[in-house]
Amino acid sequence: MDESIPLDKKCQSSIEFFKVKTYVNTIINGVELCKEKIAIDPFIQSTIESNFSPVISRINAGLDQFHRCLTEEMVADLRYFNSLEIEVDSLRSQLETQKTQFLNEIDRLSREYYYADHMNAILGVYTKLDKVTNLQCDYLELLEKCEGLQTELSKSKMMSKSFESVQKHSINLELELQQ
């Protein structure tokens, strides 16, 4: 049970885990029905009990242990998934805040540039060279800010990949249950 499920045996969704659980319950119900039918014939019942009782006990103990371990793993995976979800939401919120700040900064720079442009025109010192220089400075500032936002976006994509690996692990657990 401690072994990893190979990645090539992925399930399509976490819903399949619940299907597996339903299948296991169906098998258990089938065993119970067999027990009821066997109980009708005392000879079959005593033969099965004498020959298979230790095996059935071991299987039941193994199933109980498997169920406990699976429940523990599911709880741990759910906690991890929830923490990733919270972290992704936090990063998304941070990116939205930075986007707003970036847009506000662009607006502020536009107003400053317009004011400086207007003042230069009034003073008569506005030249094409000054305009190009100002645009280059503004472009460099905005480029630096874009690179910073791109870095933040890259971090967010890495979190998405972490989430995908958790989802793959969940799928692997589902496959293990199906086997």
pLDDT digits (tens, 9 = 90+) for 6-56: 434 444 455 666 677 787 778 778 778 877 777 777 777 777 777 777 887
Q: Taking Cα atoms as reference points, which of 177, 126, 179, 172 lies closest to residue 9?
A: 172
Q: How far apart are the first and last CA of the chain?
A: 12
Predicted TM-score (pTM) of this structure: 0.35
pLDDT tens by residue, 79-114: 998 998 999 999 999 999 999 998 999 888 888 887
The rounded distance, in Å, linking the Cα atoms of 17 and 168 is: 13
pLDDT at 90 (0 to 100):
93
Q: Which of 56-60, 130-134, 163-167, 173-177 has the lowest mean pLDDT?
A: 130-134
Cβ-contact 156, 95 below 8 angstroms: yes
